[in-house]
Chains A and B, each alone.
Chain A
Amino acid sequence: MDENKLKEREELEKLLSEPDENQDDSAEDKNKGTETPEGEDKGGTTPPAGAETEDENDEDSEENNDDEDNSEEDNDNQDAKNRWNGKSREEVIKDYETLEGRIATLEGKAKPKEDATEDKDKPEENTSDLPSPEELQKMTPTDFAKWVMQRIDDGVKKTIESQTQIRDSVKREISEAKKEHPLDDPDYRKMVLTIIDAASAKGTVISLKEACKQVDAFLGKHKGESNDATDISDDERSRLKKAKAQVESGAGAPAQPDGSDAETKRIQKALGRSGSRGSLGGLGL
């Protein structure tokens, strides 16, 4: 009997000394029984102390992965384990709830920032002049009426200012152009106006000087001959009428705001001459 008992002890000691796979399971079972209820161990949201053994098993299964990755993951897992180690279930739940709360507040802060960046991308609307709803509530009807009248006055002033600016600039342009070009002549003037109108119909702006230059080009004038610009011969007058008819039929304004000579050349071609390059100057021969 003693021998049998000894043998049994030896066998038991061997079994205990050898690392066995079943040992982990037994340990798990023990932990389940003592620390946590059945359902929550598998959840993973509140890893208990016994979860260490599960993680170890998982780590064993991931042996094929790189050692560096494993070491980093181990560190992270250890930190996570340490956070929950030695804490009761209630404490873990409390901590988890506080973490959730933090995440919610962080998301809440992040969203308005995103909205603000989106607002910046949007085009600026003319709402800066409008008073805030609080200010509007504070206003009496008379104050509101005054504010409206003030706004209307400002709008009227702005339009008047812009109109006077346009008027002044046009006056200046005309006075400058009159020095070099025969704008007193009605035919010449009409021709210039037709070119400007044709340009404006395309949404482009052509200066008065440029329009005069184009008319001069139709007439075949050189730059140096601008001194006797006020005198227009009968021949030039008849050519002006022809050119005017051409422009009125759709030519004259440049197709692009930068201006190419294509339109001018087309009209010159239609008139049957090549501008002022001939030896006889403006006669077009």
Chain B
Amino acid sequence: MVQKWSSHQRNIKTMPYGKGTYTKDGKPNEKGRKIESCVAKLMADPNFKPKKGMDKKQSAIAVCKASVGRSDEMSKQLEK
């Protein structure tokens, strides 16, 4: 019997950057792409050190999500 995942479970497995960063096709949208490139930059940066209790990628995703989310919010509010 094939186990069916709920949309939430699928998101956890396939969307590491969180909700609202992917299109319906499962590809990263503009925000997702920004986070993706940011994560790639931080991962390549030897000076970037992860936070305690997190590995480098988890830490990079957290940092990028925060910074991209903030700039997103800024552009939303400025263009109101």
A residues adjacent to B (C-beta < 8 A): 123-125, 166-167, 170-171, 173-174, 183, 189, 192-193, 196-197, 199-205, 208
**Contact status of A189 and B68, CB under 8 A, knowing A201-B38, A203-B41:** no
In the complex, the answer to whether A208 meets B67 with C-beta atoms within 8 Å is no
**What chain A residues lie within 8 Å of B64 (beta carbons)?**
200, 203
**What chain B residues lie within 8 Å of A196 (beta carbons)?**
71, 74-75
Partner of B75 from the list A124, A197, A202 (CB cut-off 8 Å) is: A197
**Contact status of A166 and B69, CB under 8 A, knowing A171-B77, A183-B78:** yes
**What chain B residues lie within 8 Å of A167 (beta carbons)?**
73, 77
Return A97 CB to nearest CB of chain B, in Å.
Answer: 47
**What chain A residues lie within 8 Å of B66 (beta carbons)?**
205
User: Which of B68, B69, B71, B79 has most chain A Cβ within 10 Å?
Assistant: B71
Partner of A170 from the list B41, B52, B73 (CB cut-off 8 Å) is: B73
In the complex, the answer to whether B53 meets A201 with C-beta atoms within 8 Å is no
In the complex, the answer to whether B79 meets A197 with C-beta atoms within 8 Å is no
In the complex, the answer to whether A189 meets B79 with C-beta atoms within 8 Å is yes
Return B48 CB to nearest CB of chain A, in Å.
Answer: 8
- The number of chain B residues with a CB under 8 A from chain A is 24
Interface of A is mostly: helix
Q: Within the assembled complex, what's the spacing in Å between the Cα atoms of A128 and B70?
A: 30
Interface of B is mostly: helix
B63 within 8 A of A: yes
Q: Within the assembled complex, what's the spacing in Å between the Cα atoms of A192 and B79?
A: 12
B residues adjacent to A (C-beta < 8 A): 34, 37-38, 41-42, 48, 52-54, 60, 63-64, 66-71, 73-75, 77-79
**Contact status of A193 and B41, CB under 8 A, knowing A200-B34, A201-B34:** no
In the complex, the answer to whether B67 meets A203 with C-beta atoms within 8 Å is yes
Return B46 CB to nearest CB of chain A, in Å.
Answer: 14
In the complex, the answer to whether A166 meets B73 with C-beta atoms within 8 Å is yes
Partner of B38 from the list A124, A192, A200, A208 (CB cut-off 8 Å) is: A200
Partner of A204 from the list B53, B67, B77 (CB cut-off 8 Å) is: B67
Return A197 CB to nearest CB of chain B, in Å.
Answer: 5
**Contact status of A205 and B78, CB under 8 A, knowing A124-B53, A200-B38:** no
Partner of B37 from the list A123, A171, A201 (CB cut-off 8 Å) is: A201
Q: Which 10 A-B pairs have the closest CB atoms?
A: A123-B53, A200-B71, A200-B67, A196-B71, A203-B42, A200-B68, A203-B38, A170-B73, A193-B75, A203-B63
Partner of B77 from the list A174, A200, A205 (CB cut-off 8 Å) is: A174
Return B17 CB to nearest CB of chain A, in Å.
Answer: 13
In the complex, the answer to whether A199 meets B77 with C-beta atoms within 8 Å is no
Q: Within the assembled complex, what's the spacing in Å between the Cα atoms of A225 and B20?
A: 42
**6 A-B Cβ contacts within 8 A?**
A123-B53, A170-B70, A173-B74, A189-B78, A197-B75, A205-B70
Residue of B nearest to A123 (CB): B53
Q: Beyond A197-B71, A203-B67, list 17 extra A-B contacts (CB 8 Å).
A: A123-B54, A124-B52, A124-B53, A166-B70, A166-B73, A193-B75, A193-B78, A199-B71, A200-B38, A200-B70, A201-B34, A202-B41, A203-B41, A203-B42, A204-B67, A205-B66, A205-B67
Q: Within the assembled complex, what's the spacing in Å between the Cα atoms of A125 and B55?
A: 12
Q: Within the assembled complex, what's the spacing in Å between the Cα atoms of A189 and B79?
A: 8
